[in-house]
Amino acid sequence: MNRVLRPAPLVLSVLFWTLVFSQAQGFAQSELVREVLEGTRNEARASWWGFNPTNSTAILQVAINSRVRKLVIDRQESAWITDPLTGVSNQELVFEAQSELVALKGSFRPKGACLLSFRECQNVIIRGEKEDGGKSARVRMHKEDYLSHAYEKSEWRHGLAFYSCHGVLIQDLAIEQSGGDAIYLGTTDAKKPNRDIVIRRVDCNDNHRQGISVISAENLLIEHCLLRNTRGTAPQSGIDFEPNHPEDSLINCVMRHCVAESNAGTGFQICPQSMSSRSKPISITLEHCVSRGNKQHAIHLCSAPKDPPGGHLRIAHFLSVNDSMCGLSVQFNPYDALRIDLEDSLIRDSARNDSFFPPLYVEGMNSDSRPAGNIHFKRVTIKDDIDRPFIKISDRKGNGLRNITGEIILERNGQRKQVAAVPSQTQ
């Protein structure tokens, strides 16, 4: 005779109260969501809408669309897996320590599919909790997947993308392995620049094209950021200021205490090749920044070869260490266009294995008779133990140089001497 096993009273009690608790918890979360939607609650947790360990796209998007003022992406047993998400205005997204927002594998097929994008939004905050400086709050994609034959080739699968936004703070986050840039500051079709943007204590690691790309921005502050291990498709820089149109802006863009290291391209790249003399004057400042171990230049300016823009690039208290090419490279900047100031800076052990580039490089204009120049040095030290000229001038049109001032302290094999910034002859 088969015996029917009946659960013990204690087991029945546990099952009963577990069911009651889960129903009560679901009811409580529904009530909290209702309060958010009614506008009586200004802070919410994403898990109030649910959690799906394999795909939380719908949950996250409806939570964002609630327009609650502060939405916490709370830590779960696993990452928040998602398809592309669209942000809204007047919202703060807070990542709890050790929480992750991760791209859904096998998704992001469109060439411009970004993990989280904002279009013409204002008053946006995206930050990790301050508990550990945001080091453990991560936004992550799957760069290697996008390089496979299953995906159409693209350089625009960004981590965070902002198009013509106003009033944005990105802080205390790690952004990794995007199929484009960790952070992209572009424009909508109206070509309005991003305005009043702050990027602080962000680690951009192992991204495909750039750590940060700045297409158009006014009043941009980037400080205490780490831009590292970019590799995949050119330019592969730590940061690249590169407008797409003459009407784009690079106005009052300031970087402070940032480090660009171990990138396959340049550490700090400024390329206004699509701008013109009719564009708004550029104003970019690099202060107390470091370029270290990049495979190309520490700083590279490549302007518009035919009709370059004006403005000012100021570089102060800059350190270049073991970059594979130049400490400073300047192409196509005439004597009456963008003013470049390099002061209180050290270029050390640049281009040690490069037979073409020395620590400084200037290439003249190729399209008209204007001399290159408008570069000014003040208290700049070059430490270079290789017996070679510390600067190379490429002047194929024979236009010469003009408006280059200052002197260099050259340190070689323990000996220091002050030399003219530009020798009499060109190459």
Average pLDDT of the segment spanning 299-312: 95
Average pLDDT of the segment spanning 161-166: 98
Lowest mean per-residue pLDDT among 29-38, 180-189, 201-210, 212-221: 29-38
Q: Report the alpha-carbon distance of residue 200 to residue 240 in Å, rounded.
A: 17
Lowest mean per-residue pLDDT among 63-77, 265-279, 410-424: 410-424
Does 76 score more than 50 pLDDT?
yes
Q: Give the pLDDT score at 425.
A: 42
Lowest mean per-residue pLDDT among 5-14, 58-67, 408-417: 5-14
Average pLDDT of the segment spanning 387-414: 91
pLDDT band at 365 (very low <50, low <70, confident <90, very high): confident
Mean model confidence pLDDT for the chain: 91
Neighbours of 144 (CB within 10 A): 12
pLDDT digits (tens, 9 = 90+) for 97-110: 999 999 999 999 99
Does 359 score more than 70 pLDDT?
yes
pLDDT band at 133 (very low <50, low <70, confident <90, very high): low
pLDDT band at 130 (very low <50, low <70, confident <90, very high): confident
Strands 91-95 and 70-73: parallel
Lowest mean per-residue pLDDT among 25-39, 224-238, 300-314, 397-411: 25-39
- Between the alpha carbon of residue 245 and those of residues 117, 199, 273, 304, 404, the distances in Å are 21, 24, 9, 11, 29
pLDDT digits (tens, 9 = 90+) for 185-214: 999 999 999 999 999 999 999 999 999 999
pLDDT band at 424 (very low <50, low <70, confident <90, very high): low
pLDDT band at 398 (very low <50, low <70, confident <90, very high): confident
Q: Give the pLDDT score at 395.
A: 86
Q: Give the pLDDT score at 27.
A: 47
Query: Following DSSP, what letter does each residue of 157-195 receive, concatenated?
Result: B-SEEEES-EEEEEEEEEEE--BSEEEEEE--TT-PPEE
Q: Give the pLDDT score at 367.
A: 67
pLDDT digits (tens, 9 = 90+) for 234-254: 999 999 999 999 999 999 999
Decide which of 2.160.20.10, 3.30.470.20, 3.40.50.720, 2.60.40.10 is the CATH code for 43-420. 2.160.20.10
pLDDT band at 135 (very low <50, low <70, confident <90, very high): low
- Between the alpha carbon of residue 379 and those of residues 285, 345, 376, 410, the distances in Å are 17, 7, 10, 11
The DSSP symbol for 48 reads G
Contact partners, residue 413, CB within 8 Å, separation at least 6: 385
What percent of the chain shows pLDDT beyond 90? 85
Does 72 score more than 80 pLDDT?
yes
Average pLDDT of the segment spanning 325-336: 96
Residue 411 backbone dihedrals phi, psi, to 5 degrees: -110, 120
Q: Report the alpha-carbon distance of residue 219 to residue 363 in Å, rounded.
A: 30
